[in-house]
A and B are shown apart, each in its own frame.
Chain A
Amino acid sequence: MSAQVQAISTASRPPGPPAVGGLPGTVLRLHRAALLVWAAFVAAVIVWLLFVTQVTAASVRAVEENDHCDPARDMCSVPYAAYLYSRAIDHAGTLVCYSFLAVAAFAAGSLIGRELESGTARLAWTQGVTPTRWLVAKLAVPAAAITFGGTVLVLAFRWGWAANPDWMWGDSWTFSDVFVALGPAAVAYALCALAVGALTALVLRRTLPALGVACAAMWLLNLVLEHLRDALWPTRTRTSAKPLVLPNDVWEVASGRDADGYYATFHPASHFWPLHLVETGLVLAVAAAATTAAFALLRRGTA
């Protein structure tokens, strides 16, 4: 049978681009608006980071050099100006991290849910595209856009975050959103949201419920991992007879005093990458499981 199918496709296909060429093009055309919004978002975050690192930084420097600062009108305190600067940088991190919620809403709603609810998925499935190939294209095209855009966002944020390390007074790598936005976990969360959104849409087959459930599920996953985060890599412990003073850049997990003296359990800054990569791996595992379940569900329901 498969030989026969092979024969059909080779006999009826003209020389030129392979048959799969048309499907990604169709997916792109269908979701042009979403792609433009995503590109605009990436651009906006980059512009914001440029603005903060250039314009806001100039005002901090002005305070630092103490010229043009009128104490009657401005807060002429370097720590306060630096605090505002670091908060502005971290806003970008918040957007980069939680963009996965928008991806979940898109995947469950516009990408899959609406197609199943309105029946246009069936239109595609009777236009010579198997349900499996349809879902592959529906996931692969956005996944490519997410991976590319997400990588750009992470690199931009890392650059902005490291531009003026002396002024990052209101910031720490342990902040839940900064932690995610500083590396591939941000991309992993967005890819996971794509898979979870597709799965919920295939389970519920209705746009709005799927959209809500997918966002809630991703928010919950993020919350759970945030709670478990400090346990994803072995901590270090330091004990001392005198009260401990840890460096500023460590993540203190626990500290106190027992019979032997003072102790502190913490992650040094060098634990960022192990912690980050373990979390990335966990999120990608959830993404893989959701993708597998989505394909299994689709195959079971269609011939």
Chain B
Amino acid sequence: MTDTPTDRPEGPADGRSDGRTEGPTDLRTDGPTEGPTDRRTDRPTDRPTDRPTAGRTEGPINRPTPAPAPVPAPALEATALGKRFGRRGRRALQDCTFHLPAGRVCAVVGHNGAGKSTLLALAAGLLAPSEGTVTVLGTTPAAARARVGYVAQDKPLYPQLSVAETLRMGADLNPGRWDEVTADRIVAAGDLDPRARIRSLSGGQRTRVALALALGKRPELLLLDEPMADLDPLARHQLMGTLMAQAAQYGTTIVMSSHVVAELEDSCDHLLLMGGGRVRLAGEIDELTAGHTRVAVTADTDLAPHTVVESRTTGRQLSALIRPAGPLPHEWRTGTPTLEELVLSYLRNPEAPGLAPVPDRAEEAAA
């Protein structure tokens, strides 16, 4: 991190930061890399109003309709969402139902081809769903376009433009929203020559420019598809810090897909685990890890009625990851899984029963 978020100038969107001073304060005292972890543990997940995002409903966006919304619109909500490529083509996504509250940093994990990129593209309004609906920041993806940032997996940029011209494009295409200081700072932190052509940049440098474009429009929802894949560890750490500072300062919701689960553990508070085009696990990471138990018992133990995600027998010992259906016997040795253990268990066992909200629950939340 190059400086504290409070050094930023008051841009045209400064009205949005009303009532959100706690984010930067946390960061300044704890340091940006620890901020996200603190956010996760300190915040009761069932109290959306204590999030800085509560201020968003009073921002300039909703001013014409002054009726205060008691709960801010969820950042992302899918109901029975499906996408099929071609009339008889592959189903990249089917029956996806989940609900992501505003202000969260959400990790999307899953195998290659699990539908992560398709889901992000649908949320960004780049694809039209084949079935179901997706709601972004309380409206359609098309209407939310100006408030959503998106970085595609392959970081497409115009090769013939220079770095400075690319940022100028961001300013031209986002009139009234563009945060030049943030964009310039992200690029400057990478020692990039503004006159360098995009085609002469390395993959990691291109990622930096792509992130600068996405953050420069100061999005309320940031969709990142494998954002850090081609960055060196130092740049990865630094850009992650920038992202988290942004999230904390403006209450930005971040949805990011990644294969590096350990990297997500520090920064994310919400998880979306996908497999075979479906959502297998969705929820707050704290609740998810608390809802699962690692058990070590003798090999002849019957684990019923608990839901078994993964079990392995080594000699006379059975180790398993279960979702307890009730209190566990005292003689079982138990432990809380880490996020990585949880994710890997589900990925290794594609047949394990999922724990995603059923459609009627999502409708309740929407109502």
A interface, CB within 8 angstroms of B: 1, 3-5, 7-9, 11-14, 19, 21-23, 25-26, 29-30, 33, 118-120, 122-130, 300-303
- Interface of B, secondary structure class, is loop
Task: Please tell me if the beta carbons of B172 and A23 are within 8 angstroms of each other in the complex.
Answer: yes
Chain B: CB-nearest residue to A29: B165
**Least Cβ distance of A273 to chain B in Å?**
43
> Which residue of B has the minimal Cβ distance to A7?
B64
Would you mind naming 29 contact pairs between A and B with Cβ atoms under 8 Å apart?
A1-B143, A3-B64, A7-B60, A7-B61, A8-B61, A11-B61, A14-B176, A19-B176, A22-B175, A23-B172, A26-B169, A26-B172, A26-B173, A30-B160, A119-B152, A123-B152, A125-B124, A125-B126, A127-B169, A127-B173, A129-B173, A130-B145, A301-B128, A302-B125, A302-B128, A303-B125, A303-B128, A303-B140, A303-B141
In the complex with contacts A3-B64, A303-B140, A126-B150 CB distance below 8 A: yes
* Bound-state Cα–Cα, A26 to B174, Å: 12
- Cα(A33)–Cα(B159), bound, Å: 13
Q: How far is the CB of A295 from chain B (nearest CB, A)?
A: 14
B329 CB to closest chain A CB, in angstroms? 51
- What is the total of A-B residue contacts with beta carbons within 8 Å? 120
Number of interface residues of B (CB under 8 A): 48
Contact residue among B142, B158, B176, B210 (Cβ-Cβ distance under 8 Å from A9): B176
Q: Specify which of B60, B121, B145, B172 is in contact with A25 (CB 8 Å cutoff).
A: B172
Which residues of B sit under 8 angstroms from A21, Cβ to Cβ?
A: 172, 175
B103 within 8 Å of A (CB atoms): no
Contact code string B145-164 (vs A, CB < 8 Å = 1, else 0): 11011101010111011000
Given contacts A25-B172, A119-B156, A122-B152, contact A5 B177 (CB under 8 A): no
Contacts of A5 in B (CB 8 A): 143
- A13 to B175 Cα, complex, angstroms: 6
Minimum CB distance partner of A132 in chain B: B142
Contact of A29 among B62, B161, B170 (CB under 8 A): B161
User: Is the beta-carbon distance between A12 and B60 smaller than 8 angstroms?
Assistant: yes
Among A7, A125, A127, the residue within 8 A (CB) of B170 is A127
Q: From residue 215 to 273 of chain B, which have CB atoms closer than 8 A to chain A? A: 217
Known: A9-B146, A29-B169. 20 other contacts (CB 8 A): A7-B60, A12-B176, A13-B176, A23-B172, A25-B172, A30-B158, A119-B152, A122-B121, A122-B126, A122-B150, A122-B156, A125-B124, A126-B145, A126-B214, A127-B170, A300-B128, A301-B127, A302-B127, A303-B141, A303-B142
B213 within 8 A of A: yes
User: Is B23 interfacial (CB-CB < 8 Å)?
Assistant: no
A119 to B157 alpha-carbon distance, docked (Å) = 8
Contact code string B121-145 (vs A, CB < 8 Å = 1, else 0): 1101111110000000001111101
A19 contact set on B, CB distance < 8 A: 175-176
Give min CB distance, B145 to chain A, whole Å. Answer: 6
Nearest CB of chain B from residue A109's CB, rounded to whole Å = 14
B65 interface residue per 8 A CB criterion: yes
Which residue of the partner chain B has the closest CB to A17?
Answer: B175
Query: In whole angstroms, what is the CA distance A303 to B152 when docked?
Result: 17
Interface membership of B63, Cβ < 8 A: yes
Give every chain A residue within 8 A of B65 (Cβ-Cβ): 4
3 nearest CB pairs, A to B: A22-B172, A119-B156, A12-B176
Is B1 at the interface (CB under 8 A from chain A)? no
